[in-house]
Each structure stands twice: as structure tokens, then as C-alpha cells.
């Protein structure tokens, strides 16, 4: 994987007319470019005649920039989640609802595993902003986990409190930290966080941990502590059905009875503890600061007030908890996403996440997952979700393609976006800089495997022209043939022919000798291959065949006119052979070529070379005529 660490600052010069009514206008391009141009806002619109701004001339500039750096943990997240995304696309939507939900739940948990693995990478790093990155990943995991609980892993009757407790425990870890400090204290009950930690464990449904802390108190063993410990031990485990509700109400009635009987009258701390067990609303409001968040308050209060309720009743509890924390106006972006997930408001959830979280990872993958959920209670999926998924995948895939290190992953997402994704991928692949042969071959292979032959040809042409500019004619010719660009192939063949004319030797002779059927892509390339074949025949003493091929090259117009003199020079030793290599007809053809050169002024009649050539042609004609007459008689 290539590194993505380049950053540069560039000042763009935009020529502008000298008068003063101009401003700079811009239009967004594709991901990492923008088009700048000058606009005269004093000019009138040509259609309406109203002032509105018109192009002022002075040029247009398209500005590209390197995408923002992708840290290692983010590249890890993108790479691992792309594999999960690919597996999700092959998920059979035709299986039963229960089987489909189970498959989607497993894939959702794999996505969360990717997030947690990235968090571990950030934690182990020594980056300056590691805390910021860890908080970002933790927020994304919180939103995803809650969406999974509420929307994907729907339980019968909508009872999700047990899952929400696990969710709160995972993300509200302040009581774990304080518990460690309390346990290590010399006198635990004297630690300033002792009782708040006990309350916190109870609020999170961790009665066993709360009992362990109570045992550290010097008063443990007295009647109030024994009674509180017994109540914590007898908390009914969460379950579904009327039997659980009956057992819970009976247990809670015991809590209320013991509290009202004054068993804890001499211990206000234990009174507060038992009031929590009784589900006393005032006590929960007093402890809201210790919980730190409205969703913690919602889950904890529901646990000790009506733990059997479903998701719909929880939404009302969420509204009450939000009011305790100052109302909707005090909600952060994370709070808004969590509330939207709890409410099942997918549109608000994705909209807020797209505006808040970077690079579209969560919105693209979550929308893709939710879009595959089976219909529930005949309500059906929101009609917008499929289109929104399509848009988010295109944007996320485009962002990956704009990265120097993750561009190959972008194609995985754009492949799932129909014609729009195909067109966007073609545009982005064509804009990638094929800095090395290896990278260029990767781009071409990706384009060819998707039928984007025009993109593959364009990239190969770019590489061919770069190689040609560097004087690597053999490499350039190989790229030209791969691009199927006959014009470039002809240009390179011409360059090789001219180089031979000036130096007397062929560059990349081995490559030219093995052109095979590729020489058919260009007349000039065919001439180059046939001329190399002439030399091979000459070297193998197949002189008759070599002479015939040479005449064919000239009479068929395959050979460029400027190269005729070189071909005639090559013919000189063949004209002197006995028996003659050229027939009378072939000799006349060579004489006609000499005459054409004379008429066009490309032949110096006074030169010794021309005199020898004419003499050789005449001698060969005489010998060929005698030989042909002897055969005829």
C-alpha cells in the first residue's frame, strides 16, 4: 500500500482585467479539485437582463490538491471494512427474515470489530492527536452499536434493555476507573468517590460489583448493610414475559417496604442506594451529574422503574432524560445521532452523521447495511434509503479514489453504484497520476476488468508519451501498443525509423522483431516490422526473398518517402549478385522509384552514390533479361 503523506501549498495566479467590479467565483469539481474564474457582478444576465454576474474573461484555472492525510489507523479501518462490505454485497436477500437478520447482525458486528481494532491501533500509537482520534472512533462505535441494537437486532416485543445496559457499560467507563482507585485506597470508604462508585455500579445494573464495594466498608455486617446486600443479591435477572414482571414487582415491593420501615434510617447513603432500587425519580435526577449523559440516565431509570418495556416506551424515557440535561437545545451532534437511532429516524441519523463525521465511512456503510433490512410489520423501508445509500457510497468511494494509498478500494464501492458509479470510477481513474509503471498497470488492469477500455487506453497513452519524452522508445512502443492508439504507434515507429536513418542501428531491435500481429495496428509499424524482417532474411542469406520484400516495401507505399534512399542503398549489394536477385520487373520498379525521387528533388544526380545506383540497376537489368531469356528458351 502506498503512503499518503504528501502535502503542498500552492498559490494560483489568475489573470484578470483591470477594472474593479470583479470577484473570484468557483465551481467544485470531483473531490479534490475546484475551477476558479473571474466574474463581473456588474454585468447583466444575457437571458433576464438583470444584474447577476457574467464571466469576465481572463482565464479559467482548474486547481487540484492532495487529499488530506489518511493516518495509519484510518487506512486500517478502510481496508478491513472494505472486506466486510464485499461480503455484505453477496448476502442472500431471499432467505427468510430471521436468517437475513442474523446474517446482517453478524456483518454489523464485524464492522464494529473493525472500529475497535482501529481504536486499539490509536491507543498503541504515540500520535499527538491520538485522544481526538480515539474519541472519534468511540463515537462512531457508539452510534453504530445503538443502531444495531434498535434497528438490526430487533428482539421479540422490542425489549432491548439488557443490550442497552451492555452498551452503556461499554461507553460509560468512569465508574470502572473510580472503582480501581477506591479498591486501591488504604481506607476505601474514606475515598471521595466511594459512594458515587457504589451508586454507579448499581445504576449500570452491576449489582455484584456494588456488593463487593459494600464489603469494603467498615460497617458491613451491620443490619442496614446486610439488608442492602440482600436486596442487591435478589435483583431478578432481566427476562421477558409476564412472569418476569411479576417477580420484579415483588422484589421492588420488598425494597420499598424495607425503606419505609426505617431499616436504613441511620445511613443516608444506604437510603439513597435503596431509593435507586425503588426507582425513585427524584433520586435519579439528583444523581444525573454522576451518570454524565442523558442516555445513561434513560437506561438506568428504565432499569429500576419498568425494565420490561419495549423500545417505543424507551423513546419517551429518552425525552424525559434529555429534559433533565437541559432540553434538546443542549444536545451535541453525537447526542442527536443517538436520539435519532433510538427513534428509528434513519434520515436524521445519516444526515447528522454525514455533516459531523469525516470521510463518510459510517454513513456509507450504515446506509448500505440498513437498506438490506427486511420489511417489518408491513411498514417497509423508507423509500429514500436506497437512493441515499447510492449517493453515500458514490461519495465515499470517490473519497477513497482521491487518496494516494486507498484508491483501489474506492472501486469496490463504486462498482455497487450502477451507471453513476461506473461513470465516476472512469473519471477518477483517468485523473489518477500513473507515477510508475507498476501503478499504471494496476490502473489499466482495474479499468479493463470493468470494461473501461477508453480509460485503459488513455492511461497507456500517457505512459507511452512519458517514456517517449524520456528517450525510452522501446518502452514507449510497448505502452502505445497496449493503448491501441495507432497514431502514437505510428509516431514512435517514425521516430525509430529516423533514428536508424541517422545512426545506422535500431533501438529496441528485439522488441521490434517480436511485434507479431501487433504490427497490423499501424502502417508505419508494419513497415518497421517488415524492414526488420528484410534484415533478418539478408543475414540468413535468403537473398531472393529479401530482394522481393524490399521491392514490396517501396511499391506498396508502406515505406515513408524519406526512407526510400536508405532502401535503395540496401538494394545495392543485392543488385550485384549473380544470378540476379531482382527480376526485370522488380528492377523496373526500383528504377521508377529512383525517377520519383529525382522528380521530387530528393535525389542528387551529381553524387557518386546515385551514379553507382543507376549503374547497378542497368547491369542487373541486363543480367536479369539474359537469365529470363535463357529460361524461356
Last residue of a domain, one of 511, 540, 569: 540
* E strands in 463-538: none
Question: Whole-angstrom Cα distance, residue 484 to residue 280?
Answer: 79
Residue 316 lies in a domain: no
Residues 531 and 579 in one domain: no
**For residue 515, what are the domain limits?**
433-540
Q: 224 and 267 in contact (C-beta within 8 Å)? A: yes
Q: For the chain, how many helices (H) and strands (E)? A: 30, 3
- The verdict on 613 and 482 lying in the same domain is no
Neighbours of 203 (CB within 10 A): 26
- The residue from 309, 331, 362 where one domain ends is 309
Are 533 and 572 contained in the same domain? Answer: no
Q: Do 527 and 480 lie in a common domain?
A: yes
pLDDT at 33: 60
| Cα–Cα dist 370/91, whole Å | 13
Mean pLDDT split into 10-residue runs, the chain, 633 residues: 44 52 58 63 52 53 58 90 94 83 94 95 84 92 95 75 93 92 92 95 95 93 93 91 90 94 89 95 92 93 91 88 92 94 92 90 95 62 79 93 88 93 92 88 92 91 88 82 80 76 62 58 76 84 89 85 84 87 89 85 76 87 85 68
Same domain, 184 and 278: yes
Q: Where do we find the cell 461480503?
A: 87
Task: Answer whether residue 404 is part of any domain.
Answer: no
331 domain residue, yes or no: no
In a domain, residue 175? The reply is yes
Pairing type for strands 33-40 and 22-28 reads antiparallel
Same domain, 578 and 532: no
Cell of 386: 436506497
Together in a domain, 565 and 520: no
pLDDT value for 120: 92
On whether residue 337 sits in a domain, the answer given is no
Same domain flag for 518 and 575:
no
563 and 522 in a single domain? The answer is: no
Residue 219 burial (10 A CB sphere; 0-12, 13-18, 19+)? middle
pLDDT score of 3: 46
Report the C-alpha gap between 311 and 149 in whole angstroms: 10
Domain assignment present for 602: yes
In a domain, 484, yes or no: yes
| Residue 70, SS3 per DSSP | coil
Of all residues in the chain, the percent with pLDDT exceeding 90 is 44
Vertex 50 angle, CA 49 and 51, to 5°: 125
577 Cβ contact list (under 8 Å, min separation 6): 543
Q: How many angstroms separate the Cα of 583 from the Cα of each of 506, 542, 622, 628?
A: 29, 15, 10, 8
Contact 276, 284 (CB under 8 A): yes
**pLDDT in the model for residue 508:** 58
The pLDDT value given to residue 1 = 45
Task: Please give the Cα distance from 13 to 23 (Å, whole number).
Answer: 14
Domain count, the chain: 4
In a domain, 109, yes or no: no
**Nearest C-alpha neighbor of 22 from the set 43, 47, 1, 6:** 43
- Write out pLDDT tens, residues 424-468: 999 999 888 888 889 999 999 999 999 999 999 999 989 989 988
Picking from 495, 512, 540, the residue at the C-terminal end of a domain is 540
Residues 299 and 189 reside in one and the same domain: yes
What is the H or E stretch that residue 57 is in?
strand 54-64
Structure confidence at residue 379 (pLDDT): 47
Same domain, 521 and 565: no
Does 303 share its domain with 181?
yes
- pTM over cut 0.75: yes
Amino acid at each position: 500500500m502506498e503512503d499518503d503523506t504528501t502535502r503542498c501549498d500552492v498559490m494560483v495566479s489568475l489573470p484578470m482585467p483591470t477594472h474593479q467590479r470583479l470577484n473570484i467565483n468557483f465551481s467544485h469539481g470531483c473531490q479534490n479539485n475546484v475551477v476558479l474564474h473571474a466574474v463581473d457582478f456588474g454585468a447583466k444576465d444575457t437571458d433576464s437582463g438583470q444584474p447577476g454576474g457574467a464571466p469576465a474573461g481572463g482565464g479559467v484555472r482548474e486547481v487540484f490538491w492532495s487529499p488530506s492525510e489518511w493516518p495509519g489507523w484510518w487506512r486500517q479501518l478502510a481496508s478491513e471494512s472494505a472486506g466486510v462490505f464485499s461480503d455484505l454485497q453477496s448476502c442472500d436477500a431471499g432467505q427468510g427474515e430471521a436468517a437475513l437478520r442474523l446474517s446482517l447482525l453478524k456483518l454489523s458486528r464485524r464492522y464494529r470489530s473493525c472500529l475497535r481494532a482501529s481504536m486499539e491501533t490509536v491507543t498503541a500509537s504515540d500520535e499527538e492527536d491520538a485522544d481526538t482520534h480515539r474519541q472519534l472512533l468511540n463515537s462512531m462505535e457508539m452510534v453504530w452499536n445503538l443502531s444495531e441494537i434498535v434497528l438490526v437486532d430487533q428482539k421479540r416485543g422490542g425489549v432491548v434493555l439488557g443490550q442497552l445496559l451492555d452498551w452503556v457499560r461499554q461507553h460509560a467507563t468512569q465508574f470502572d476507573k473510580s472503582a480501581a482507585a477506591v479498591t486501591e485506597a488504604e481506607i476505601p470508604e474514606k475515598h471521595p468517590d466511594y459512594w458515587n462508585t457504589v451508586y454507579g455500579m448499581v445504576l449500570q445494573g452491576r449489582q455484584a460489583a456494588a456488593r463487593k464495594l459494600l464489603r469494603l466498608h467498615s460497617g458491613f455486617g451491620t443490619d442496614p448493610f446486610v439488608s442492602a446486600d440482600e436486596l442487591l443479591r435478589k435483583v431478578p435477572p432481566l427476562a421477558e414475559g409476564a412472569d418476569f414482571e411479576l417477580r420484579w414487582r415483588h422484589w421492588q415491593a420488598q425494597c420499598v417496604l424495607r425503606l419505609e420501615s426505617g431499616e436504613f434510617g441511620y445511613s443516608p447513603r444506604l437510603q439513597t442506594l435503596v431509593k435507586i432500587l425503588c426507582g425513585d425519580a427524584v433520586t435519579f435526577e439528583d444523581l444525573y451529574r454522576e451518570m454524565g449523559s442523558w442516555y445513561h440516565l434513560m437506561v438506568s431509570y428504565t432499569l429500576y422503574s419498568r425494565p420490561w418495556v419495549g423500545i417505543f416506551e424507551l423513546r419517551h424515557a429518552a425525552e424525559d432524560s434529555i429534559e433533565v440535561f437541559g432540553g434538546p437545545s443542549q444536545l451535541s451532534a453525537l447526542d442527536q445521532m443517538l436520539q435519532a437511532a433510538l427513534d428509528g429516524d434513519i434520515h436524521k441519523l445519516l444526515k447528522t452523521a454525514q455533516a459531523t463525521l469525516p470521510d463518510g465511512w459510517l454513513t456509507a456503510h450504515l446506509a448500505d447495511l440498513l437498506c438490506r433490512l427486511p420489511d417489518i410489520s408491513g411498514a417497509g423501508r423508507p423509500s429514500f434509503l436506497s437512493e441515499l445509500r447510492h449517493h453515500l457510497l458514490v461519495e465515499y468511494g470517490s473519497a477513497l479514489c482521491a487518496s494516494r494509498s486507498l484508491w483501489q478500494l474506492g472501486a469496490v464501492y463504486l462498482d455497487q453504484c450502477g451507471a453513476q458509479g461506473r461513470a465516476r470510477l472512469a473519471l477518477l481513474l483517468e485523473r489518477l497520476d500513473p507515477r510508475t509503471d507498476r501503478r499504471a498497470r494496476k490502473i489499466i488492469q482495474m479499468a479493463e476488468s470493468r470494461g473501461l477500455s477508453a480509460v485503459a487506453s488513455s492511461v497507456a497513452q500517457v505512459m507511452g508519451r512519458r517514456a517517449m519524452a524520456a528517450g525510452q522508445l522501446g518502452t514507449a512502443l510497448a505502452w502505445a501498443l497496449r493503448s491501441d492508439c495507432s497514431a502514437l504507434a505510428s509516431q514512435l515507429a517514425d521516430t525509430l525509423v529516423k533514428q536508424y536513418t541517422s545512426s545506422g542501428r535500431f533501438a529496441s531491435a528485439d522488441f521490434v522483431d517480436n511485434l507479431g500481429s501487433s504490427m497490423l495496428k499501424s502502417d508505419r509499424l508494419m513497415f518497421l516490422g517488415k524492414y526488420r524482417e528484410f534484415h533478418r532474411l539478408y543475414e540468413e542469406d535468403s537473398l531472393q526473398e529479401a530482394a522481393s520484400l524490399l521491392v514490396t516495401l517501396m511499391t506498396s507505399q508502406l515505406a515513408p518517402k524519406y526512407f526510400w534512399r536508405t532502401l535503395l542503398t540496401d538494394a545495392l549489394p543485392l543488385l550485384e549478385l549473380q544470378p540476379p536477385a531482382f527480376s526485370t520487373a522488380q528492377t523496373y520498379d526500383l528504377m521508377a522509384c529512383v525517377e520519383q525521387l529525382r522528380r521530387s528533388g530528393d535525389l542528387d544526380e551529381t553524387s557518386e552514390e546515385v551514379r553507382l545506383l543507376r549503374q547497378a540497376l542497368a547491369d542487373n537489368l541486363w543480367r536479369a533479361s539474359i537469365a529470363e531469356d535463357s529460361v524461356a528458351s
